[in-house]
Structures are given as C-alpha cells and as structure tokens.
Amino acid sequence: MVVMTSLAHDLERLGAEFWEWRDATSFRTSDDIPRVERPSGWLPRFDRSAIDEFRLALAGFAERWRAIDAAGIGALPVATQVDHRLLGAAMARGHWELEVLRNWERDAVFLTSQVLGPWFDLLLAPPPFDARRRSDLVRVLEAIPGAVEQAIVNLERAGVATLARVAAGDLRDIGARLSTSVAAVVPHTDAATAAALAAAQPAASDALGRYRAWLEASADRLGPDVIVGRDAFVWYLRHVALVTAEPEELVRAAMQDVSRSVVAETVLRARFRGLPERPMAASAEAESADEAADELRVRAFTEASGLLSQPDSLRRYLFAPTPDYLEPVAFLGVTDDLTSIRRVGEDATSYVPAPSPDLPYFDAASARDPRLGIIHEGAHSQQLALSWAQPDPLRRHFIDSVANEGIAHYNEELMLTAGLFADAPHSQTIVHNFIRLRALRVVVDVNLATGAFSLPEAVDFFVRMVPMDGGTATEETSYYVATPGLAMSYHVGKQEVQRMLADAAVAAQLDGAEFSVRDFHDFVWRNGNVPMSLQRWELLGDRADVDTLDAAGPWWQAPPGRPPLGASVTTP
C-alpha cells in the first residue's frame, strides 16, 4: 500500500512539473481551447536550439512516465490509471507537434501566429491592462523583428508553398493594421508604456511588411504540401486523441450524418418556408445585451430540463463588441477570452463584430439568434470552467480537441433535441446545417491526412458539398493539411459522447435503474479534457476501447518520424 501511495504521488508530481514546462514551452495557438496563461515575459521559441531543448525535456518526462508505468500503475484505482494515460497522451501530443507536424519550420501561417499572435493574446482579456500585461505588450512588440528573421530562416529550410501564400494573404496591409492596433491600445496604458509602444511599433510594422514581401516572393520556390500519411494519422488517433476507430470508419460515419442533416434541413426549410428569418441585431452592443439575457435563459432551460447542473458559482459567458485595438489583428485567432485555470472565476468574453449583411457564417448566425453561439462557445466556457475547478489537477489541462470540441458540438444537437429552439424555426435549420458542415470537415480532414484526397480534390469536395466558394475552400483545406485531426474533432467527439450516453442509458435500463442525464452530463463536462475512451472506462467500467488502444503498442516506443523517445535529441 505504501508503494502504491508513493506511485500516485510520483504521478502527481510528474504531472505538475510537466504542465509547468508545457505552459512555458508549447507553441502559441490560434485556437481558444488550448490557450494557456503564460509566464510573465513569455515569447514563443521556434529556433533550432529551442527545438532541441524541447526534445530533450520531453524525452526526460517520457522516461519518468515509463518508470511509473513499469512500477505497477495497473494495480492502482482506475481513476489514477486514467490520469497516467492522460499524461501519456499529453506527451505524445508534444511529439506529434515537434516531430510529425513540424509546423515550426514548414507552416508560414503557424509562424505568423508565433510572431504576432502573442500581441493578439495579450489584448483578449478585458481592461484594465495591469503592469504585467503592459510590460508584456512592449516585450512582444520589440521581439517581432527578430521573430520574423527566425521565421524566414525556418521557412527557407522547410517551408510549404501553399501555406506561404495563405500567410501572405493574411498579412495584407499588416504594417498599417498593427499601427492602428497599437494606437488604439495606448489610451489603456500609462505614459511609459505608451512611449515604449510608440518606439517599438515602426520596426515591428516594417518587419512584418518584409515578412509578407518575402512570402510573396518566395512562395513559388518553397516545397509541396506535406501529408502525414495514414500510419502517422492512426498513431495520432491511438496515442493523442485516444480514438479507436479506423480513419475510414470516421469518414463513413461522417457521411451518414451529412445525409441525416441534409434531410432534416430540407424538411424544415419546406415546413417553415413561409416564415421570415429573425432580423439581425441593430448593433454589436444590442447583440451583446440580447446575448446576456439569452445566456441566463439557456442556463435556466438547461437546469429546468434536468440536462446539466448550473451552480450559482459558475461564471457567465458574455458577448461584447470587438475592441478597436483587437479588430485589426482579429485574423490571428478566435476572438474570445475564455480565461484560464488561474482566472476561472472571471466571466468569459466573446467579442462580436458589428452586424452586417456580409458577416462570416457563424457570426451571422449569432447576430440573428445569440443562442446559436451560446450552445457551442458557451458550452466550451462552462466545460473549461468546470474542468479547471475540479479537484484532480491532472484533468485540468487540454490534451486534444476531440474531447472538448466534441462536447460543444454534442451540446448543439442536445439543445436542439431538448427543445431550446422551439420558438425559432430557422435556428433549428441552422443547427442541422452546423451538423452538416462539421461532418463534411471530417471527410476532408481525414482524407487529406491519409492521402486519399489531394489538395485540389479536397477543395472541389468543399465547393460541391457545402457549397463553398473556391477561395474559402482553398484557405480552409490548406489549414487542414497543416493541422490534421482538428477539423474532424467536432463530429468525432460528438459521436463518442453520444455512444457513451446510449450505452450508459441502456445499461441502466437493463439493471432496472433510473438513468440520470444530468449526472451523466455533469461527469462528462467536469472531465471534459479527458478523451471519451478513458471516460468510458471510469464511468461505465468498460475498457474495450482501452484494450484496443493498448493493442497499438506503447506511444513512446516507435513514434512516427523519430527513433524511440530518448534515443536521439539532435535536430536532423
């Protein structure tokens, strides 16, 4: 018993050290779910010496993880074994990013995110801007010229042409846009910070302009798209996402949902064809006020329907007009502040643009019915808050999007089925369209990753099936090439939750017990960073998925793209 207790303590200590390291060294992301609160003065590092340091550190963590495994982790309670496997998946993700995707040297869009993204991230939390944030704004701005030079060095070595062209398009007029952003944030700072920002901005804008010019001039001589291939993609499914399905199964399941959603859309459009659409909100301020009221109503509906507990301590999810300092750089990420582990008690803020006829798809939906945003991003907000506040520290951290995005997408259909949109016929149709779009993304994502689709074939598929214009389709599919597994996560994760609920409900019926939907959802949301295969094991006692994952072999023994972890840490 003493040995087992010591082993659990070793795991907890390893997890604390790993996540402290990960928060300080992981690459910056444009997605909102994996965002973390960084140490003061933090800047992304993507030079060769940094990559070698990361490899060495990851190999050390993996060695300690294996030692815990070999010491008898299988004799500990299932909950502790789940924590151990969860930490292994996080380490496998580190390998996936460093060695397989290699976006730090291939992807110009990713490198733009490392160069300028920290500026965007520092703008997200609502004012006031405290001394630490003001200091970090100056540091990030001053670092841009050097970061641009390093990005160019990396891309000269291994850059991909398609992504360079996309990045060049993103950076159109970037010097002027950054200048506008800096000028708009200055009134929120003190005199010393304002002077430092004014001094650093011209060099930063010039460097970004040079970066864009280099991308335009160099794209034609950079390399082709890099497909990870089926074997590496299956490795990601088994060892990072902890998904047991084969890639082809994921595509077939997605196409079934496409058919189902198209039928539902068609029937509802015919049924409600004489009803006018809801008008758009008159302004971002009016939309934000509507959303604040709707958010309370959605919470009350969820509680009254017995679907998910809504404790008074749970923070709010609120819209706000996009600040003038954020709008010029909004392309750098999801424009919301879902807070962090250390700020879990603060309200989450989602910034919305001014309503207009040419709004992007999801913004346009929320401008007509804010609940359409609440049921997805609001679900993220609550799931993250509940996960961050849970007593087990190893379950407070992002591992992979399949779990988090799956819960949010599942919640969309859950709210539709429960009757939230009974008063909004056209919103019902839109939710079915959400299902269709996300199912189609599985097809493109998986087929690009495995090589079943070329980039032109993926673009054509989107143009025909969504439908979507060629420019947008090209941009989306370019991102999928560089981030396999992200676009599929919504639909794949949703189906994992649905399968687990169905199995839990049927098991309760067979036992003559009453099944509590609320208790099920409370467990899933609280453990929302944990892949569903591990949740099934803990909640249902069903380890069939875990056995399938084990059959794939240890994640560290033969990772794609590199020798076994620890065998080599030198940059090739």
pLDDT tens figures, 72-122: 999 999 999 999 999 999 999 999 999 999 999 999 999 999 999 999 999
On whether residue 101 sits in a domain, the answer given is yes
- Region 164-170: mean pLDDT is 93
First-last CA distance in the chain: 45
Q: Please write the tens of the pLDDT for every residue from 303-344.
A: 999 999 999 999 999 999 999 999 999 999 999 999 999 999
On whether residue 92 sits in a domain, the answer given is yes
Residue 553, C-beta contacts closer than 8 angstroms, at least 6 positions apart: none
On whether residue 277 sits in a domain, the answer given is no
CA distance 223 to 163: 10
Residue type, 418: A
Mean pLDDT, all residues of the chain: 94
381 pLDDT more than 70: yes
Count other C-beta atoms under 10 Å from residue 388's C-beta.
Answer: 21
199 pLDDT more than 90: yes
On whether residue 315 sits in a domain, the answer given is no
Give pLDDT, residue 480: 83
CA distance 76 to 14: 16
Count of the separate structural domains present in the chain: 1
3-class SS of residue 453 = coil
Domain that holds residue 124: 2-221
Residue 523's pLDDT band, with cuts at 50, 70 and 90, is very high
- Region 449-468: mean pLDDT is 86
pTM of this prediction?
A: 0.95
- DSSP-assigned states of every residue in 286-313: HHHHHHHHHHHHHHHHHHHTTSS---TT
Residue 371, C-beta contacts closer than 8 angstroms, at least 6 positions apart: 294, 298, 415, 420, 421, 424, 427
Residue type, 318: L
On whether residue 73 sits in a domain, the answer given is yes
Count other C-beta atoms under 10 Å from residue 440's C-beta.
Answer: 22
Residue pair 164/222 in contact by the 8 Å Cβ criterion:
yes
Residue 300, C-beta contacts closer than 8 angstroms, at least 6 positions apart: 310
* Maximum pairwise Cα distance, the chain: 72
563 pLDDT more than 70: no
Give pLDDT, residue 568: 43
On whether residue 31 sits in a domain, the answer given is yes
CA distance 452 to 250: 13
CA distance 354 to 16: 42
Strand 348-352 and strand 317-321: pairing? parallel
CA distance 214 to 568: 34
On whether residue 435 sits in a domain, the answer given is no
Tokens of 356: 């207009």
Q: Give the helix ranges, DSSP H, for 159-246.
A: 161-170, 174-185, 191-218, 230-236
On whether residue 115 sits in a domain, the answer given is yes
**Angle at the Cα of 329 from the Cα atoms of 325 and 333, rounded to 5 degrees:** 120
Look at 197-211, 350-364, 531-545 and tell me which has the smallest mean pLDDT: 350-364
Tokens of 538: 């803990």
Strand 336-337 and strand 348-352: pairing? antiparallel
Tokens of 376: 């997805």
Residue 570's pLDDT band, with cuts at 50, 70 and 90, is very low
Residue 562's pLDDT band, with cuts at 50, 70 and 90, is low
CA distance 436 to 86: 31
Residue pair 403/532 in contact by the 8 Å Cβ criterion:
yes
What are the CA-CA distances from residue 545 to residues 35, 486, 552 (Å)?
29, 21, 11
CA distance 224 to 165: 12
Residue 455's pLDDT band, with cuts at 50, 70 and 90, is confident
In degrees rounded to 5, what are phi and psi of residue 133?
A: -65, -40
What are the CA-CA distances from residue 82 to residues 77, 371, 399, 409 (Å)?
9, 34, 13, 24
